[in-house]
Structures are given as structure tokens and as C-alpha cells.
Amino acid sequence: MSGKEAARRLQCRGAETSAVTEVPLDSTGERDFMRERVALYAKATLLASIGFFFAGFAIEALWPPRVGPPATLSRPDILFHLAACAVLLVVWLASRRPGLSESALHAFDAAGTVTALALYALMTLNMPEAWRPEMLFLLIVMAILLTRGALVPSSPGRTAWISAAAAAPSPLIAAAVYALRTPPEVSRGQSVAYATLWATLAILLSTLMSFVTFRLRKSVAHARRLGQYTLGEKLGEGGMGIVYRAEHEMLRRPTAIKLLPPGRAGEESLKRFEREVQLTARLTNPHTISIYDFGRTPDGLFYYVMEYLDGVDLETLVAEQGPMAPGRAVRILRQVCDALAEAHGIGLITGTSSPPTSS
């Protein structure tokens, strides 16, 4: 192993921590991901709704209803079903637009979910009482809210209020159906209470699902991006930042990225970090790593990109293979000293110890 590798390891190596350090995601990438997931959610619910629409016609053709009008496009429940499909279609088409802002995506997500379920509520109210419309609406609520919780990146609080607004018609439908049922099998209180319990369960399950997916997305470090670089595993951590393995999106070249998280980005830390990268970029010794890039993300995260050398550090090498031969140790130390001498010469490393003593 060369002194260049040892110098790189000295720069990267630090005390590992078990806590996950959050790296802000690129705002454009977040918006694109949100756009993709809202479109997928709207498309999935739209296809399911269209499938049930045609399935209903097929079922009534095979087993015609004993009472009530036949299935035609003028029947009120079918009209409300088509209106709900239209709302989902609008959300799907609108969320596919590349220039849509993140706030607009959130608005389409919330308004589309609440409006579609309101139309499904009107659909079930216009169905025959024998079809148990209150239970049918609860099934629709459960299916749509769980699909949204699984697909759309949303905070638990946001999911909770959207789900509550969408499921709100459940007890009202139960009360309305009770008034039409003759003779009633249960009391009005029982009918409304059971509808409320099932609606509450749908709200809790969708919120829990959003909580799990939201936390997982925030904690998956290897899938995070920093500009044109995809971050991989954490290599080390020191007083001036955290080092990750990374890969350039277009060049596919492995690199190492040193980050200064926003929590450490005080004025003094920023000055030290910037000075460090500027001085390191001036190093020309062949046993010193090269600096490729330096920048700051829109989220306020400072970073610089450097050469990545795959290998082991001296500590691991000695632990696995035992003591080095004197000649090899001297050769490595000379390379390390050459690199440190240049770094010391430009002020990157300063000496504070007393003069060495002979042994």
C-alpha cells in the first residue's frame, strides 16, 4: 500500500457513530420524486376505479337487479362514479407535468383524494339500500387511503388530516342509510358508531404507513444524491465533516465526498472547511489525493469531491498480516512524509510539538 493511500485514509478515518447523519436531498430530485409518486398513485386508483366501473356493468348484465333501474350512463350512482374517475384522471395528467411546483403537487394530492372520495360517497348514497352502501364506501376509503399511504411521500401529520377529511362522510352515510332502512336491524347509534370506528381505522393505518415510509426514505443514505453525485456508504467521520463514497452520475467514476453538515456549518467552521479544500487542491505530491470539485447545495450543505482509492489502511494491514518488513515500512513512511511535508509547507498542517529527541 502506498503513502498516497495512507494519506487518504488519514483524511477519511475518524470515530464512527451509530447515528445516521441526515444529508439533505436535492430539492429538484425531491420534487421529481414527488411528481412521480403522485402520478403513480392517481394512475393506480384511476385504473382500479375504471376496472370496477366495467365490472359493475358485466355483473349486472349477468345477474340483472330485481329492483331499480338497469345500469345506464344516466343512473346517478354511475354518473358520480364517472365524476370520481375524471378527478383522478385530472390529478394523474396534471402531476405528470415536469414544471409543476412541489406546492402544486401537494395541492393536487390533497384535493384529488378528498374530492374523489366525496364523489364516491355520493355514488354509494345513490345505490340500493340492499347493497350496504355504508360498508361499500368504507371499503373504497380503505383501499384509496392505504394506496396513498404506500405510494405518496407525505409526513404523518399531512396524511392524517387528508385521510380524516376524505373519510369524514362515513358516519353521515351510515346515518342516511339508517333512515332509509325499513325495518332497521340495528339502532342509529350502532350504525354510526361502527362506521366511525372503521373510518378511524383507515385513518390510523394510512398514517402509520406514511410514518414508516417517510422515516425509511429519510434514513436511506445510500440512495441520497448530492448534485451530480450519488452517495454510497459512509467511510469515516472527523472534526471537520463526514466522508462518503460516491459516484458521478455521468462519468460513473468512484469518488469520495467530504461533507460539512448544516448542523456544523458555523461561520468559523465554514472558513476552516473552505481553507482546507483550497489548500488541499494546491497539493501536487503524487502521494496525495486529488481534489475534483467543491461546492454548496441549495440546502446549505458544503462539500468537496476528491479521489477515491480502494484499499486498506495501515492499521488493518498490520492487524491482518502482522509486522511489516523494515524496507517496506521505510518506503511507505517516506511517501507519507513527502506528502505531509508539502502539506506543512503550504500551511495545511502545522506543527505544535516540541523538537524530537533521539532514542
User: pLDDT of 331-343, one tens digit each?
Assistant: 989 998 988 888 8
Banded model confidence at residue 53, pLDDT cuts 50, 70, 90: very high
Q: Is the pLDDT of residue 29 over 70?
A: no
The answer for residues whose C-beta is within 8 angstroms of residue 177's C-beta and 6 or more apart is 125, 129, 132, 133, 134, 191
CB 217 within 8 A of CB 34: no
Cα(117)–Cα(84) distance, rounded to whole angstroms?
Answer: 7
Span 212-232, average pLDDT? 66
Q: Where do the structural domains in the chain lie, given as residue ranges?
A: 3-14+227-345, 27-221
Nearest-Å Rg of the Cα atoms of the chain is: 31
For the range 270-279, what are the long-range contacts, defined as Cβ-Cβ under 8 Å and sequence gap of 24 or more?
270/302, 272/240, 273/240, 273/241, 273/302, 274/302, 276/240, 276/348, 277/304, 279/343, 279/346, 279/347, 279/348
Judge whether residue 240 has pLDDT over 90: no
Residue 190's Cβ-side half-sphere holds a number of Cα atoms within 13 Å equal to 4
pLDDT at residue 162, rounded to an integer: 96
Residue 56 is predicted with a pLDDT of: 85
Asked if the model's pLDDT at residue 42 lies above 50, the reply is yes
Q: Superfamily for 3-14+227-345?
A: Phosphorylase Kinase; domain 1 (3.30.200.20)
Inter-residue contact 333 to 287 (CB < 8 Å): no
How high is the mean pLDDT of the chain?
Answer: 80
Average pLDDT over residues 240-256: 80
pLDDT at 10 over 80: no
Angstrom distance (rounded) from CA 302 to CA 298: 10
Mean pLDDT on 173-202 = 84
